[in-house]
């Protein structure tokens, strides 16, 4: 009898089809914490690299993919003019921004949605933000401030906003980059304009619920939710300060000055216990101690040449009283949280042996090791401890196609889902299996 029940259960599961793994539906993963929680993942890469499942042709862009419900969503840009613009100035380009949807199983293009979007930005390869998938809808933000909600099933438009037209925001020199955050019934965005650096929209209709904060520039960091001081807090890091506001009303809880060079507030603020870290170039960083009984923050230490971390594109990872992250010149560092002291550093994950401006690598934790995707298109598995950097294996999965400071780079955060890595450059989206061998 028991054997019969087990047999029926197995046949039922088989009839329903294969079970998908976890999703990666937004920036930095399901919880926006850079942790990949799937089981049965390979501990090291094979000598000839992980198995390639599929590749799909796409256009230019920095947008990382999002994976949800068997679909992969990514943004790109198709220009009709100069194909080799100067990344160091505001370029005027004509083209279309697109949202593409692929099957996560085989890379089949399921649908695309596009709109005309002239660019006047530096580093104009394409959109910067990772799509945010929430149930049946996908929320995207283009480089020139086009916020759109589309249906996940077919890409049909539900509603849209334009930050320049609707809020008088000026496009930052490197475009709009704050990945939309969906929580409850609201979509939170870093917008810009007078009194509207932070705006909350009704996720179903696009109607504005509230606006808050004024700054010279909105910055480039994603809105971030934390729980501290007995309250849920929305963090907005703009070009002049890190601010905490009430996510329900937009009223300000606290603000601490922090003005990164060139307004480059990029990395996502990171919380561990009562500590909160935020940082950018050049040594413009700080460790805060959060209030425990009410929303508040005080500075524990500020960054210096021998203290802290000044990242550009890379959000650091905090655990067990330490921080691991890539500095603005490409050093992967381990930092003691309480003091800011450097414990060790290495260029192994980025350039190999020397400093380079904005050298980039994206860190994601899986169990006792990290999966690191660097600007050379290499996937690295390594252990990071307070004692050292211990590399296990690496393999090049993509060619770097962008240009920065005279070298080719790929600056797009991958997605880890369905026991795979989904990564893109300016020509293709690739899916490699990272499933452990039985």
Q: Is the pLDDT of residue 19 over 60?
A: no
Q: Is the pLDDT of residue 5 over 70?
A: no
Bridge partner list, 159: 149
Task: Please compute the mean of the pLDDT values over residues 2-15 and round it to a whole number.
Answer: 35
**Residue 8: pLDDT band by 50, 70, 90 thresholds?**
very low
For position 30, what pLDDT does the model report? Answer: 98
Q: Are 79 and 60 in contact (CB under 8 A)?
A: yes
Q: Is the pLDDT of residue 7 over 50?
A: no
Bridge partner list, 278: 286
What H or E segment, with its residue span, contains residue 372? strand 369-374
The per-residue pLDDT for range 188-245, each reduced to its tens digit, is 999 999 999 999 999 999 999 999 999 999 999 999 999 999 999 999 999 999 999 9
Residue 158 in tokens: 């539900």
Helix (H, G, I), strand (E, B) or coil at 152: coil
**Residue 82: pLDDT band by 50, 70, 90 thresholds?**
low
Using only the alpha carbons of the chain, give its radius of gyration. 21
Q: How far is Cα 244 from Cα 380, in angstroms, rounded to an integer?
A: 35
The per-residue pLDDT for range 35-46, each reduced to its tens digit, is 999 999 999 999
Q: How far is CA 334 from CA 184, 387, 413, in A?
A: 35, 9, 21
Average pLDDT, the chain: 94
> What is the SS3 string spanning 259-278?
CCHHHCCCCCCEEECCEEEE
Task: Please compute the mean of the pLDDT values over residues 299-328 and round it to a whole number.
Answer: 96
For position 14, what pLDDT does the model report? Answer: 33
Q: Give 134-139 contacts, CB < 8 A, sequence gap 24+.
A: 134/25, 134/182, 134/203, 137/203, 138/66, 138/73, 138/99, 138/101, 139/180, 139/182, 139/187, 139/203
For position 20, what pLDDT does the model report? Answer: 54
What is the pTM for the complete model shown?
A: 0.94
Q: How far is Cα 260 from Cα 302, in angstroms, rounded to an integer?
A: 12
The per-residue pLDDT for range 365-401, each reduced to its tens digit, is 999 999 999 999 999 999 999 999 999 999 999 999 9
Q: Are 328 and 311 in contact (CB under 8 A)?
A: yes
Q: Is the pLDDT of residue 85 over 90?
A: no
Residue 33 CB partners (closer than 8 Å, separation 6+) = none
The per-residue pLDDT for range 402-431, each reduced to its tens digit, is 999 999 999 999 999 999 999 999 999 999
Helix (H, G, I), strand (E, B) or coil at 382: strand
Q: Are 284 and 310 in contact (CB under 8 A)?
A: yes
Q: Is the pLDDT of residue 110 over 50?
A: yes
What H or E segment, with its residue span, contains residue 4? helix 2-16
């Amino acid at each position: 009898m028991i054997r019969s029940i087990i047999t029926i259960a197995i046949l039922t599961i088989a009839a329903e089809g294969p079970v998908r793994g976890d999703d990666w539906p937004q920036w930095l993963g399901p919880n926006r914490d850079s942790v990949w929680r799937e089981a049965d993942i390979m501990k090291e890469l094979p000598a000839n690299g992980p198995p390639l499942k599929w590749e799909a042709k796409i256009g230019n862009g920095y947008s990382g993919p999002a994976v949800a419900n068997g679909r992969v969503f990514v943004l790109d840009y198709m220009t009709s003019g100069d194909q080799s613009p100067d990344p160091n100035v505001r370029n005027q380009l004509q083209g279309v921004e697109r949202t593409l949807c692929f099957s996560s199983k085989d890379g089949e293009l399921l649908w695309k949605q596009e709109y005309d979007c002239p660019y006047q930005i530096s580093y104009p390869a394409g959109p910067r933000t990772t799509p945010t998938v929430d149930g049946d809808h996908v929320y995207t933000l283009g480089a020139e401030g086009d916020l759109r909600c589309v249906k996940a099933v077919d890409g049909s438009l539900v509603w849209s906003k334009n930050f320049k037209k609707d809020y008088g925001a000026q496009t930052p020199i490197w475009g709009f980059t704050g990945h939309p955050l969906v929580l409850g019934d609201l979509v939170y965005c870093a917008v810009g304009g007078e009194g509207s650096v932070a705006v909350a929209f009704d996720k179903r209709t696009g109607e504005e619920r509230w606006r808050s904060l004024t700054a010279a520039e909105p910055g480039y960091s994603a809105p971030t939710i934390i729980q501290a001081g007995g309250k849920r807090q929305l963090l907005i890091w703009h070009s002049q300060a890190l601010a905490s506001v009430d996510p329900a009303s937009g009223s300000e809880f606290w603000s601490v000055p922090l003005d990164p060079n060139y307004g480059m507030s990029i990395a996502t603020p990171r919380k561990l216990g009562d500590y909160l870290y935020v940082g950018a170039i050049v040594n413009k960083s700080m460790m805060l101690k959060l209030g425990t009984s009410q929303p508040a923050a005080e500075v524990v230490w500020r960054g210096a040449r021998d203290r802290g971390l000044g990242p550009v594109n890379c959000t650091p990872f905090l655990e067990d009283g330490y921080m691991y992250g890539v500095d603005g010149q490409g050093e992967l560092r381990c930092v003691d949280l309480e003091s800011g002291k450097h414990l060790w550093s290495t260029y192994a994950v980025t350039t190999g042996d020397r400093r380079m401006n904005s050298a980039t690598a994206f860190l994601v934790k899986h169990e006792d090791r990290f999966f690191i995707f660097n600007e050379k298109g290499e996937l690295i598995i390594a252990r990071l401890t307070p004692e050292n950097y211990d590399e296990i294996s690496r393999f090049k999965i993509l060619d770097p196609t962008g240009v920065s400071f005279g070298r080719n780079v790929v600056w797009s955060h991958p997605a880890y889902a369905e026991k795979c890595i989904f990564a893109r450059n300016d020509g293709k989206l690739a899916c490699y299996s990272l499933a452990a061998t039985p």
